[in-house]
Amino acid sequence: MLEKVLTGKKHYWMLIGGLLALMIPGIFFYVKQIQEGLAVTGMSRDVSWGLYISQFTFLVGVAASAVVVVIPYYLHNIKQFGRLVILGEFLAVSAVFMCLLFIFADMGQPFRILNVLLYPSPNSLMFWDTVALLGYLVLNLVIAWTALSAEYKGVPVPGWITPLIYLSIPWAISIHTVTAFLYAGLPGRPLWLTSIMGARFIASAFASGPSLLILLCLIVRKYTSFDPGIPQLKAVARIVIYALIINLFFIILEFFTAYYSGIPSHRHSLEYLYFGLTGNGSLVWFMRISLVLGVAGLAGLLFQSKRENTTLLTVSLIAVFFSVWLDKGLGLVVGGFIPTPFESITEYSPAITEIAVSLSIFAVGFLILTMLYKIVITIRVSNEG
């Protein structure tokens, strides 16, 4: 099946070439980062995690959200999701891959990465996150690949895969819960010290991940002769609506607890993020745009359901995706560090290195995704044709 990656039309090669080109600057910047140390990033003693860890956090959500198509298809036997399941699982594979690369990019001593395996420390959530992510990567790769092979050969999916599919469902929830636990268990960071962190992570993941999946399917539909099916995509969009409402509700809950209790430490980070604190607030507009995009995306999704054309659907999903990205892939991690334990403020903005390296990693992820989707589409088109 892998050989399908090597043949394609002009569009396919242009996309591959574009993604490879996007990788190049990041490689140079990463080499510089290895030589100079992380001083070439915008991170600091006070804001010690930045764009890299934010992207990691966001992408774990994207990976976990594959379960949104897996559950209806395998647990509720809703056949119409069958056309989406493998696409969802391969999206998860590429997202987990990007997660691992972002962690790697963030490390001060990347050549010591094997210490994580040599000195496994179950007291650390980072250990469990590594186990969860690697396990999830293997599960999705095995499940999707086996199902696709069966489809390719025109034989039924082998039975041994069923327990793995059932295992992958709680596993998907667990990867994002454990990622939330990375933050929610730290005593000195009031923004993160909230028990709905895990639930909010899953809600925002189920809003952003499936949004991306539908958008990818719309692209597939437009540029290839494989059609995942508009009714199917609209069904997934309904899940996005519910998840998005829950996520916005959770944001209100966070505000309520912080502001009604009046505990300064719990209020400060939210104040910094949405209103600015003592004149500092480099993220204020991003966070407000995130809220506006979230609400606008929700309205758009509610209105599009009765429409034939997909323009409003597309625009709304883009809005939802970027709303969650700004909130979780930028504000959440950085906001947790501000104010500092000394109640001072050190602002953070990503350096060119971080932006270039991040783009590179996204390019790697989308390259993997493109190739995996190419295999799926080629097989489906020839089977259906």
Residues that bind another protein (CB under 8 A): 36-39, 43-46, 48-49, 103, 106-110, 112-113, 115-127, 130, 138, 182-183, 186-189, 336-337, 340-344, 346
Q: Is the Cβ–Cβ distance between 180 and 201 less than 8 Å?
A: yes
Q: What's the closest the beta carbon of residue 351 comes to another protein, in angstroms?
A: 11
Closer of 187 and 279 to another protein (Cβ): 187
Closer of 83 and 189 to another protein (Cβ): 189
Rounded Cα gap, residues 58 and 62, in angstroms: 7
Q: What's the closest the beta carbon of residue 370 comes to another protein, in angstroms?
A: 24
Closer of 127 and 286 to another protein (Cβ): 127
Q: What is the DSSP letter of 385?
A: -
| Residues 6 or more apart in contact with residue 13 via CB below 8 angstroms | none
- For residue 206, the surrounding DSSP H or E stretch is helix 197-223
| Residues 6 or more apart in contact with residue 9 via CB below 8 angstroms | none
Rounded Cα gap, residues 319 and 298, in angstroms: 9
Q: What's the closest the beta carbon of residue 37 comes to another protein, in angstroms?
A: 4
Rounded Cα gap, residues 5 and 375, in angstroms: 6
Rounded Cα gap, residues 80 and 228, in angstroms: 9
Closer of 20 and 39 to another protein (Cβ): 39
Q: What's the closest the beta carbon of residue 65 comes to another protein, in angstroms?
A: 25
CA 214, distance to chain mean position in Å, is 14
Q: What's the closest the beta carbon of residue 174 comes to another protein, in angstroms?
A: 17
Q: What's the closest the beta carbon of residue 238 comes to another protein, in angstroms?
A: 37
- Residue-wise burial string across 268-294, b where 16 or more C-beta atoms lie within 10 A, e elsewhere: bbbbbbbeebeeebebbebbeebeebb
| Residues 6 or more apart in contact with residue 319 via CB below 8 angstroms | 293, 294, 296, 297, 300
Looking at the DSSP assignment, which residues form a beta bridge with residue 277? 280
Closer of 43 and 369 to another protein (Cβ): 43
CA 8, distance to chain mean position in Å, is 28
Closer of 119 and 308 to another protein (Cβ): 119
Q: What's the closest the beta carbon of residue 120 comes to another protein, in angstroms?
A: 5
Closer of 138 and 245 to another protein (Cβ): 138
